[in-house]
Amino acid sequence: MPARRGLIVLQIDALSHADLRRALDLGYCPTIARLLRERGFSVRHWFCGLPSATPYCQAGIMYGENDRIPAFRFYDKQAHRVITCNAPQGVQYIRDRIAAPGALYGGSSYVNLLDGDARTVAFTVATRARLSVYRRLGGTRMAILMLIHPVRMLRMALQAVLEWLREEWERNVGELARRRTHSEGIFPFVRILTNVIVRELQTIAILLDVYLGVPIIYSTFMQYDELAHHFGPSSKAALRDLRRTDARINEILRMMRSRPGRAYDLVILSDHGMTPSASYRVEYGESLGATVQRILDRYAAKQKREAQSALASFAEQSEYAEVGARAFDTVAGAAPPSARRFRRALVRAGRWVREQYGLREIIVPEKYRVEAKHEIVVTYSSSLALIYFADDERALESVDISADVRREALRQALVDHPGIGVVLSRDRGDVIAVGKRGRSWIRDAKITRVEGEDPLVVYGTEPHVLRAIESLVNQPNGGDLVLFGAYDGYEIVSFDDQVGAHGSAGGDQVRPFLITPPGLDIANETIEDARDLHRLITSRYALPRDQRPDGVERRRR
């Protein structure tokens, strides 16, 4: 038996502690319920830090290093480049700037944004070594796994049809009931890919790894996150899908029990939670980028001067527009040269997807707005938005904004907007939070001064929340203005078209869950950032640094 005990980490993306409890009470997670009731596992909530987003949290869990990740989408002033984690090159940008060694060295990474230095990857976006798209999707190993499981592949095909029908039914019911759901142009394709194909393939890969005794395995079940964004974190559609993830966890447990060899500890967690939300565009009839443009135009007209040429729409090519077509192109590129007809058919299918669904993506509100002159850049990440005055490459302070009448006019107009709850900025070592009825200053995780009403009260003023807000605002590539969507204690405004949001503080989005086995007792540990999970869990199972080949420690930035 291998001396080194193994670790399996299963991440259920975006499932808060409260919604896990709700799913358990409704009977959607019988396997997890048995672990808690009969096997001595324990469950607790933890604070994930800010931004409450997957790239920040996974970097912390896998590497113990997650600075310079101020949002799911942000702007690099020096490089004049928008970084979006929906695009592989955006995640690779983050991965290339992580210097710490990953805890997954010698193990496997499945359906993650980052690889954690894993040896085997599948459906993992960014890796230490440059890999082709085909290899990042699992390569020949994944293709062989599909071939040796024909019955499972047939079941997967039938489930794909059922998933399409389920999506159409739920979307139409939501629209008839006048719920604020939003179906992006290719979301039906994304739902089939994530909820059926990816979930089946990642489960097969994990089962094989357990059989082979791979020392550490980290895999993300991302299906709940996709559904909760579109139908709500406590919706029946999102919670009901957890039953299928729970069934896959049961399969993994059976393999762990039946296969002699390496003993494993199983950890089930979420990287962040989700808060019910209302779409900014639906509520106010325009995107945040359009609001910024309107404010600038109005100010220019009032002052009888030329407006800042702000923010031509990014919608010439949506960050999602090529996803479906690229999937066909990738498979066509991996097909053997002899299969010319098959390759041509895939290319034609990709062209059809571009024609039919690319146009629908173009008219979807942008995920960020940037003008060719880069005077102002606005990026949205669900309930969090960042505004950059990109004509100045410095990280601006509040005094720099106040010194420019146009910048100050924009800040005040955003503060007054009903869809924005608080506007944050740097202030000579402090962080200043400005709301509609007052402002407050934060230093060293404490409120040091308040004028009027403290706008942060509804988002949380506990020391760990204030520390996270300070860290977020002071990120080197953070926004000159940091915006949280308006929050009433239950529902938060999302700058994306979502009915479930995460990214800022406020509600369950910062309170994910953590389930640990009896031998891993961390019930009394303080967990106030995803980095703490690296310290308490993943680094314990990582291969010691002196046993790694030369070069893994001296990472190239």
The pLDDT of residue 162: 72
Q: Is the separation of the CB atoms in 94 and 134 below 8 Å?
A: no
- Phi and psi at 241, nearest 5°, equal -65, -20
**Residue where the block lists tokens 């009901």:** 240
> From the CB of residue 80, how many other CB atoms can be counted at a distance below 10 Å?
12
The pLDDT of residue 336: 73
Could you give the 3-state DSSP secondary structure of residue 500?
strand
Q: Could you confirm whether domain 6-72+82-274+507-547 is CATH 3.40.50.1360? A: no
pLDDT digits (tens, 9 = 90+) for 241-289: 999 999 999 999 999 998 877 999 999 999 999 999 999 998 998 999 8
β pairing state of 120-122 and 376-381: unpaired
Could you give the 3-state DSSP secondary structure of residue 138?
coil
Between the alpha carbon of residue 478 and those of residues 17, 135, 150, the distances in Å are 28, 33, 48
Question: Which residues pair with residue 105 across a beta bridge?
Answer: 118
> Which residues neighbour 131 within 8 Å (Cβ) at sequence distance 6 or greater?
121
Q: What is the length of the chain? A: 557
Looking from the CA of 223 toward its CB, the CA atoms found within 13 Å total: 26
Domain ranges of the chain: 6-72+82-274+507-547, 278-313+367-501, 323-362
Q: Which helix (H) or strand (E) holds 258?
A: helix 236-258
- Show pLDDT as tens, one digit a residue, over the chain (557 residues): 456 899 999 999 999 999 999 999 999 999 999 999 999 999 999 999 999 999 999 999 999 999 999 999 999 998 888 899 988 889 999 999 999 999 999 999 999 999 999 998 988 888 876 655 555 555 566 666 666 666 676 777 777 677 667 666 666 666 666 554 445 455 566 666 667 778 888 998 899 899 889 999 999 999 999 889 988 999 998 999 999 999 999 999 999 998 877 999 999 999 999 999 999 998 998 999 889 988 988 887 887 665 554 433 233 334 444 555 656 666 666 667 777 788 788 778 777 665 544 433 333 445 666 654 548 899 999 999 999 998 888 999 999 999 999 899 999 999 999 999 999 999 999 999 999 999 999 999 999 999 999 999 999 999 999 999 999 999 989 999 999 999 999 999 999 989 999 999 999 999 999 999 998 988 889 999 999 999 999 999 998 766 666 444 444 33
The pLDDT of residue 321: 45
> Which residues neighbour 130 within 8 Å (Cβ) at sequence distance 6 or greater?
none
The pLDDT of residue 175: 60
Structure tokens belonging to residue 440? 């407050």
Question: Which residues pair with residue 266 across a beta bridge?
Answer: 8
State the first-to-last Cα distance of the chain, in angstroms, to the nearest integer. 38
Structure tokens belonging to residue 539? 């680094």
**Residue where the block lists tokens 């049809």:** 161
In whole angstroms, give the CA distance from residue 387 to residue 520. Answer: 42
Structure tokens belonging to residue 512? 């994910």
The pLDDT of residue 57: 98
Please tell me the pTM assigned to this model.
0.83
In whole angstroms, give the CA distance from residue 489 to residue 249. Answer: 34
Q: Is the separation of the CB atoms in 433 and 421 below 8 Å?
A: no
Q: Which helix (H) or strand (E) holds 433?
A: strand 430-434
β pairing state of 42-45 and 446-452: unpaired
Question: Which residues pair with residue 35 across a beta bridge?
Answer: none
Of residues 89, 88, 58, the one with CA closest to residue 225: 58
In whole angstroms, give the CA distance from residue 349 to residue 339. Answer: 16
Could you give the 3-state DSSP secondary structure of residue 180?
coil
